[in-house]
Amino acid sequence: MKRRDFVKNSTLGTITTLMGIELVFGKVIPKGYTPLALQDSDPFKLFNKDKGMTVLNDKPWNIEATAHLLDDKITPNSSMFIRNNGLLPENTEAKTWTLEIDGESAEQLKKYTLKELKSKFKHHTYQLTLECGGNGRSEFNPPAKGNQWTLGAVSCAQWTGIRLKDILEDVGVKSDAVYIGYHATDRHLSLNPEKEPISRGVPMSKAMQEETLLAFKMNGEDIPLAHGYPLRLVAGGWPASTSGKWINRLSIRNIVHDGAKMTGSSYRVPCEPVAPGKKISDNDMCIIESMPVKSLITYPKTGAILKKGQVLELRGHAWAGELSVSKMDYSIDFGASWTECLIEKPKNRLAWQHFSVKINDFPIKGYYEVWARATDSQGKSQPMLLPGWNPKGYLNNACHRIAVKIS
């Protein structure tokens, strides 16, 4: 859908959210008229994104950051990737928003208004790493279909909300509960209201973690429209597809949730390693849970030029799904030898960690590459070039590399 059509089909509430300012006299705007502030806009303006972001698709919107745009310790909206499977919801009015809880394993059916959720349950704030399962897909060979994410489908923002477990306890969970499935108000590309663009979830053990939130704030403000306003699930450290945006219903399931993109080969990888290009039956594909260890050099930009003798101050972030990062190394000789970097402790569990190092051992003038490699708390390190191939191109956690010229 063209941005203009989106605006045309939006309610006043959504337009107000997009503009970030109250539309005075909005109620009397002629039907179908697009306010000037939103005319001739572009995705960067529409979503308040940095012009340096890359638009991979506009129907649905899929926009990624570059490595150096992710330099902040806490990712601002301006450089947070957008991954949509469908069209933005038509109505995101917070005042009338409700959350329904149902499912075979719910003790009762319950419906909360957003206001009730905010007043009834304690608020918690965590920094949570969200990485799309397909981040890095563009490097796989044979290539996988889907958005060709490079490096920038990852973020770590500060999320505020209520614990999913607090709501589940309030509703009552039967002992046979297995999974929580989310339902949201975004629209299927076909515009068929019977179809959901995505309806995934997490097993009970993840749902009951302290850091698993139903969030209504991101970085201290209302969640931006594209990121799930007014209510989203945030399950840090897991493929970000489990963090449903625009949530209006949660189902407590007595089976592994079977919503859209839970079944078949979606967000699944071969249970056992396979040769590149091999055909795999759905039965041999397993749901991705905790994301693998990974890191990103956010400074300097690839292509940096330094004078001989000048110190290179390298920095970035590292994360490891449910685990933490215990060691960070860099190499200037294509992985032949590695030197340790400083790695900070995470702000809280499931937050990415910051690394830094001063490099001054480039022996002579010339072309170098600086490679970064994180090791998780169980001793597993990132692969140097590519991890095992999988048909959908998920989980590429290869070492990030930047080019450096010493002149």
Ligand X SMILES: Nc1nc2c(c(=O)[nH]1)N[C@H]1C(S)=C(S)[C@@H](COP(=O)(O)O)O[C@H]1N2
Asked if 85 interacts with ligand X (CB under 6 A), we say: yes
Question: Residue 260 Cβ, how far from ligand X at the closest point, in Å?
Answer: 9
Size of the site for Mo ion (CB under 5 A): 4
Q: Among residues 137 and 315, whose Cβ is nearest to Mo ion?
A: 137
- The side-by-side arrangement of strands in the sheet containing 294-299 is 294-299, 312-319, 353-359, 342-343
- Contact region for ligand X (CB under 6 A) — 240-248, 308-316, 327-335, 363-371? 240-248
The one among 186, 211, 329, 376 contacting ligand X by CB under 6 A: 186
Question: Residue 359 Cβ, how far from ligand X at the closest point, in Å?
Answer: 32
Q: Which does 64 bind (CB under 5 to 8 A by kind): ligand X, Mo ion, none?
A: none
Buried (b) or exposed (e) across 138-161, using 16+ Cβ within 10 A? Answer: bbbeeebebbbbbbbbbbbbbbbb
In this structure, what is the dihedral angle of CA atoms 155, 157, 160, 164, given to the nearest 10 degrees? 20
Asked if 233 interacts with Mo ion (CB under 5 A), we say: no
Question: Residue 198 Cβ, how far from Mo ion at the closest point, in Å?
Answer: 9
Asked if 291 interacts with Mo ion (CB under 5 A), we say: no
By the 8 A CB rule, do 316 and 330 touch?
Answer: no
Size of the site for ligand X (CB under 6 A): 21
Q: Among residues 3 and 83, whose Cβ is nearest to Mo ion?
A: 83
Return d(Cα 258, Cα 138) in angstroms, integer: 28
Q: Which does 70 bind (CB under 5 to 8 A by kind): Mo ion, ligand X, none?
A: none
Q: Which does 65 bind (CB under 5 to 8 A by kind): ligand X, Mo ion, none?
A: none
Closest to 356 in 3D by CA, of 369, 366, 368, 370? 370
Return d(Cα 350, Cα 337) in angstroms, integer: 29
Return d(Cα 251, Cα 179) in angstroms, integer: 8
Amino acid letter, 241: S
Question: Residue 80 Cβ, how far from ligand X at the closest point, in Å?
Answer: 6
- Contact region for ligand X (CB under 6 A) — 80-88, 160-168, 372-380, 397-405? 80-88
Site for Mo ion in 114-173 (CB under 5 A): 132
Asked if 64 interacts with ligand X (CB under 6 A), we say: no
Question: Residue 96 Cβ, how far from ligand X at the closest point, in Å?
Answer: 18
The one among 83, 206, 217, 400 contacting Mo ion by CB under 5 A: 83
Asked if 86 interacts with ligand X (CB under 6 A), we say: yes
Asked if 128 interacts with ligand X (CB under 6 A), we say: no
Question: Residue 233 Cβ, how far from ligand X at the closest point, in Å?
Answer: 8
Sites of contact with ligand X (CB under 6 A): 80-86, 130, 132, 155, 184, 186, 197-198, 227, 240-241, 243-246
